[in-house]
Structure 1
């Protein structure tokens, strides 16, 4: 995963945004997932997807993205080389969704967890 730039860290410091700690991120089938200090998980697109698909040109969330089971559809993406449906590596309740994905597809083409995250999930008990 790409490192967060110094400028982004400074901006986050002054705006009060905490950057996710992704040192222990795991990857499954093109999705990275990292446990955050609050116990929830942040999920995003792994660099391996960019290598296989090329530039991502379209992305869409499934219509019902509230409760996830392992292997549920997480994000439909189209790239220069293929079309894929990324699957969830964990089960839980979606508590935040990156709405910027639908507004600016270029955010997904940056291998940076600050911008290419997909959802934040409260894990199932």
Structure 2
């Protein structure tokens, strides 16, 4: 079973087993505007929670995907190189950025549930 969690920095995680798919929320993509470039990390790169894991450039601003939890990148969404607007079109689906093997899967419990994230962005 997958679980969707959120961070206060507007990232989402869908956790399945010890692997999390990570992207930015609809709120974040809307705030950034039309995304024109995404720079993803290398597979096997390890990040601590809070580290910048990817660069996002839009017509309005530059931003970053912060690593929500510590882990190692096991897959990147290479389709974003040619179609970065996918993040705008489907931020919680095809617009995912990376998949990470979590150092501590139990740390997911410290992230926000949907209702708490909705309150944050209301």
Q: TM (normalized to structure 1)?
A: 0.71
CA RMSD of aligned residues (A): 2.1
Displaced runs of 4+ in structure 1, greater than 3 A? Answer: 62-65
Q: TM (normalized to structure 2)?
A: 0.73
Determine the structure 1 residue equivalent to 2:12: 32
Shift of 1:113: 2.7
Task: Give the count of matched residue pairs.
Answer: 104
Shift of 1:79: 1.2
Measured in 2, the distance between the counterparts of 1:74 and 1:42 equals: 13
Determine the structure 2 residue equivalent to 1:70: 49
Q: Which has the higher contact order (CA 8 A, sep 6+)?
A: 2
Measured in 2, the distance between the counterparts of 1:90 and 1:114 equals: 20
When Rg is computed on C-alpha atoms for both structures, the one with the higher figure is: 1
Determine the structure 1 residue equivalent to 2:107: none
- Given the alignment of the two structures, is residue 119 of structure 1 paired with residue 98 of structure 2, yes or no? yes
Measured in 2, the distance between the counterparts of 1:26 and 1:85 equals: 15
